[in-house]
Chains A and B, each alone.
Chain A
Amino acid sequence: MNVGFIGLGLMGRPMALNLIKAGHTLHVWSRRRESMEPLLEAGAGECAGPSEVAARAEVVISMVADAPDVEQVALGAGGVVEGAGEGLIFVDMSTIAPAAAQSICARLVGRGVTMLDAPVSGGEVGAINATLTIMVGGDADAFEKARPLFEAMGKTVSLIGGPGAGQVAKACNQILTGVGVAAVAEALNFARKSGVDAGKVREALLGGFAYSRILENHGQRMLDRNFRPGFKAWMHQKDMRIVLEEAHRLGLALPSAAATAQMFNAMVGSGLGEDDSIAMLKLLERMSGEED
C-alpha cells in the first residue's frame, strides 16, 4: 500500500520502519530533514510537505506532539487536505484530546477525507518491536482498510467506537499508567526507606494481586535507576492535562488522577521533564529528604 507518514520522532520513526519491513511503500515528510534520513535510507520517498504526502498515498499516518500540530498537518496551509485524493484515510496516532479528535474528524469529512484516531500504548520498545497496543476510533470500513498497517506496527489492535473513542481509551490508559507509576514509585520508596530491600519486595509482589506490567517493567527500571526515556515525564504531564481538562468539562471527579497530575507538574517544574516518567521516584526521594 502507498502510505504517508508524518512525525518521525521517538515513536514515529520505528513505526514507519516497521511499515517498510511489512512491504509497504512509504512517503515521508518532516520539518527537520535529519528526522527523515533513516527512513530515506530504508527506501522511503521524500516529500516537500503534508499535501504532497497526501497526494502520493492512500493512507496518511501522523504521529506528532499535540492537537495544534495535528490540526496544522491535517488542515493547515499545505496540509493533508490540500493534496488528498478521493477516499483518502487520515490516521492520527498522536495522543490528543477526544474533543479535538472529533472536531478535526468532522472538518475532514466535509473535505472528503475519512479520519481515524488511533493512539498507541507501549512506548518506544513497543514501537520498535511492533508490539504496540492500538486503540482506534472512527469509521469501521476505514478501520478494516487500515488494519494491515496497524498489524504491522502493533500486536493488540481494537476498534473502540466512533470518532474520538480511541482517544478516550488512550485517556483511560494514561490514568492507569500515570497513577500506576506513582503507586509503584511510592511503594518502592516506602520499602527502601523502611530499610527493606525494594528489589525483593518487587519480586514478592509480582506473584500476587499487586502484579502489574508497570510493577514488572517500570519497577525494574526504578531499581536499576535507569531514568533514560522511554516515555518522557513532560509527555505524561501533557496526557494528564488532557484527561483532567476532559474531566473538568464533563463534571467528573478523578481524585487519584488529579493527585498524580500534580506530581507530574512538580517533575517538570523541578527539571525532571526530560527523564522517563519513572523519575517520579526521584521526586518522591527528594520529598523524603534525599539528594539525587
Chain B
Amino acid sequence: MRVGFIGLGEMGRPMAQRLLRAGHDLAVWARRPEAVAPLLDEGASAYASPAELAARSEVVFSIVTNSADVEAIAFGPDGLGDGLAAGAIHVDMSTIAPQSARALARRYAERDVGWLDAPVSGGGAAAADGTLAIMAGGHALVLERVMPLLATLGSRVVHVGGAGAGQVAKACNQMIMVAAIEAAAEAMHLARAHGVDVEAVRKALLGGSAGSRVLEVFGERMARRNFSAGIQARLHHKDFGIVLAEAVRLGVPLPIAAQVCQQLNALMAAGWGGEDTASLLRVLEAQSQARIDE
C-alpha cells in the first residue's frame, strides 16, 4: 500500500521501519531533513511537504508532539488537507486533546477524507517489536481499511468509539500509568527511609496484589537509579495538562491526577523533563531532603 509517515522520533522511526519491512511503499516527511535519512537508506522516499506526501498516499500516519503540531501538519500551509484525495485516510497516533481530534475529523469529513485517532501505549521497545497497544477512535469502516497496517505496528488494537474516543482512552491510560509510577515511587521512598532494601521490596510485591507492569518496569528503573529515558517525563507532563484541562471543561473531579500533575510540575522545575518519569522518585527525595548519592 502507498503509505505516508510524518514524525520520525523515538516512537515514529521504528514504526515507520516496520511498515517498510512489511513491504509497504513508504513516503516520509520531516521538518529536519536529517530525521528522514535512516528511512531513506531502507528504501523510503522523501517529500518536500505534507501536501506532496499526501498527494501520493492512500494512508498517512502521523506521530508528533501536541495538538498544535497535528493541526499544522493537517491544515497548515502545504498541509495534508491540501494533498489527500477523497477516500484517503489520516491516522494520527500522537497523544493530543480529544477535542482537537474531533475537530480534525470534522474538517476531513467535509472533504471525504477518513480520520482515525489511534494513540499508542508501550514505549520505544514495543514500537520496535510491533507490540504496541493501539486505541482507535473513528469510523469502523476506516479502521477496517487500515487494520492490516495497524496489525504491523501493534499486537492489540481496540476500537474504542467515534472520533476522539481513542484520545479519551489514551488520557485514561496516562492517568492510571503515571499515578502508578507515583505510587511506586512513594513506596520505594518509604522503604528506603526505613532502611529496607528497595529491590527486595519490589520483588516481593511483584508476586502479590500490588504487582503491575509499572512496578516491574519503572520500579526497576527506580531501584537501579536508572533515570535515562525511557519515556521523557516532559511528555507525561504535557499529557497531564490535557487531562486536567478536560476535567475543568467537563466538571469532573480528578483529585489523584491533580496531585500527580503537581509532582510532575516539581519534576520539570528540577530540570528532569528530558529524563524518565521514574524521576518522580527523585522529586520525593528532594522534597524530603533525603537525596541519595548516586
Contact = CB atoms under 8 A, between A and B. Distances in A.
Interface of A: 237, 241, 244-245, 247-248, 250-255, 258-259, 261-263, 265-270, 273
B123 to A, nearest CB: 23
Majority secondary structure of chain B interface residues (helix, strand, loop or mixed): helix
A254 B248 contact: no
A248 B261 contact: yes
Given A252-B269, A269-B252, A262 B247 contact: yes
A254 B262 contact: yes
Interface of B: 237, 240-241, 244-245, 247-248, 250-255, 258-259, 261-263, 265-269, 273
B250 A259 contact: no
A270 B266 CA distance: 31
Contact of A252 (B245, B255, B265): B265
Contacts of B273: 251
Contacts of B254: 262, 265
A261 B241 CA distance: 14
Contacts of A255: 259, 262
User: Which of A258, A261, A269 has most B Cβ within 10 Å?
Assistant: A258
Contact of B255 (A245, A247, A259, A269): A259
A253 B251 contact: no
B265 A248 contact: yes
A244 to B, nearest CB: 7
Contacts of A268: 251
A245 B267 CA distance: 16
14 contacts: A245-B245, A248-B237, A250-B269, A251-B265, A251-B268, A261-B248, A261-B258, A262-B253, A262-B254, A262-B258, A265-B247, A265-B250, A265-B253, A266-B253
Nearest to B271: A251
B251 A273 contact: yes
User: Which of B245, B247, B262, B263 has most A Cβ within 10 Å?
Assistant: B262
Contacts of A258: 258-259, 261-262
A251 B269 contact: yes
Given A258-B259, A258-B261, A244 B244 contact: yes
A241 B245 CA distance: 8
B263 A253 contact: yes
Contacts of A266: 251-253
A259 B265 contact: no
Contacts of B263: 253
Nearest to A234: B251
A248 B241 contact: yes
A251 B237 CA distance: 9
A237 B253 CA distance: 11
A258 B240 CA distance: 12
A276 B152 CA distance: 54
A237 to B, nearest CB: 7
A10 B259 CA distance: 34
A259 B259 contact: yes
Nearest to A240: B248
Contacts of B241: 245, 248
B259 A237 contact: no
A262 B254 CA distance: 6
Given A248-B261, A259-B258, A262-B258, A253 B252 contact: no
Given A244-B244, A248-B241, A263 B253 contact: yes
Contacts of A267: 251
Given A247-B265, A267-B251, 20 more contacts: A237-B251, A241-B245, A244-B244, A245-B241, A248-B265, A251-B265, A251-B267, A253-B263, A253-B265, A254-B262, A258-B258, A259-B259, A262-B254, A262-B255, A266-B251, A269-B250, A269-B251, A269-B252, A269-B253, A270-B251
A251 B268 CA distance: 5
Contacts of B266: 251, 253
Contacts of A250: 265, 269
Contacts of B252: 265-266, 269
A261 to B, nearest CB: 6
